[in-house]
Amino acid sequence: MTALFGLDLRGRRVVVAGGGSVSARRVRRFVSEGAHVTVVAPQIDADLERHALHGDVTLVRRGIEESDLDGAWFVLAATDDKALNDTVARWAESRRIWCIDASDASRGTARQAAASRHGEITIGVLSTGAPDPGRIRKVRDQIAQRLDAGEMDMRREREGAGRVILVGSGPGDPGLITVRGRQALAEADAVVTDRLGATELLVTVPYDVEVINVGKSPTHHPVPQHEINRILVELAQQGKTVVRLKGGDPYVFGRGGEEVHACLEAGVDVEVVPGVTSALSVPALVGIPVTQRGVATSLLVTTGHAGADRAAVAAMAAGATVVFLMGVSALEQIVESARGAGCSGETAVAIVENGSTSRERVTRGTLDDISVIARETGVKPPAIIVVGDVARPGLLASAVAATPDPKGD
């Protein structure tokens, strides 16, 4: 019977005998776990050479010797010589060092699980009989897929300190939330949610998860920010895992910094899960590359609720792409500022309402006519406004997209 244990290799010496592709695959795992890896082999795989260049591993270019195991916590015998691997495994056992024998798992004192990480949980699958790497990877992948899709309840059963996880849920399409964000929802005892973002995901959380809606609209703020901060802290102080589900990215005009500050000030553990910001993703989804070679090489993202500030005006005048969030009510002021700065009336403008959702609508025009078009079509928030040549209709299908790069890239 093979027992399962989790080994903490952070900062500990791991010795790898052999410099081929098998060693390279295993070394990636050791490096990711924070081990100090030494590879001993006469010939070294190119992948291992790259690790050495980055300072991740130490290379010793000769055959393995017993003294190389001095100070090791873990050994991998992965040369192309089965007899030598068995010898290394015996050296390790005599020194009471855990060892994987890549030639014959039964001769080593350890086996490497097919593992994957999911937030605070790592799953590992082992063969307890004859080694079957393909089988254990298949089993691992099927379990991992369910965990990452939020199909398994990952809430803690044992009481512990509460915590807050700020999750950027993206622009609205639930498929655009990150894997870590989806995992966090599966860990939540309570969810404090915005009005925007991938709120459709809330139907997937268990019924006994507390859901608190603190969403705001441009003219209605039923729960002020200081009250949101208080809710997060109090729920965490009750020992709960609290997910703060926010639209876009928590730190892009999402007031995430204020919420993190409130948690830290109260001594509450807090994690931030970045999200896909609507400022970049929504234009991309409707065919607008916010930077495009030969068209725009710089980008400014700004809040537009008070119109165009000096930085935005200067950027538009310089031909940069400017993306306005929350700017629909100030559209005319934005246009006037751009024209006053000398921008051509033919400068393209695109407004994308409810980006990435089934209610998505794109309104296009120029600085000369976009205000009239927006009034006539009834443009409403939430919407992203893109000002710049990248917003021209059909840009990606034009010859401009094929502008040669002077560097030849």
pTM higher than 0.85, yes or no? no
Active-site annotation holder among 47, 80, 216, 369: 216
| CA-CA-CA-CA dihedral for 214, 220, 225, 228, to nearest 10 | -20
Is residue 148 part of the annotated active site? The answer reads no
For residue 32, give both structure tokens: 């990711």
Residues pairing with 325 in the sheet:
303, 384
Is residue 216 part of the annotated active site? The answer reads yes
Query: Which burial class, exposed, middle or buried, applies to 208 when counting CB atoms under 10 A from its CB (0-12, 13-18, 19+)?
Result: exposed
pLDDT at 376: 95
pLDDT at 60: 95
Residue 301 near residue 278 (C-beta atoms within 8 A): no
Active-site annotation holder among 173, 194, 249, 389: 194
Q: What is the pLDDT along the chain (409 residues), one digit of tens a residue?
A: 466 677 889 999 999 999 998 898 888 889 888 999 999 999 998 889 888 888 889 999 999 999 999 999 999 999 999 999 999 999 999 999 999 998 877 778 888 788 888 877 888 888 877 777 788 888 888 888 888 887 888 888 888 899 999 999 999 999 999 999 999 999 999 999 998 888 888 988 888 999 999 976 655 567 899 999 999 999 999 999 999 999 999 999 999 999 999 999 999 999 999 999 999 999 999 999 999 999 999 999 999 888 899 999 999 999 999 999 999 999 999 999 999 999 999 999 999 999 999 899 999 999 999 999 999 999 999 999 999 999 999 888 875 545 555 555 5
Using a CB cutoff of 8 Å and minimum separation of 24, what contacts does 363-368 make? 364/391, 364/393, 367/335, 367/338, 367/339, 367/343
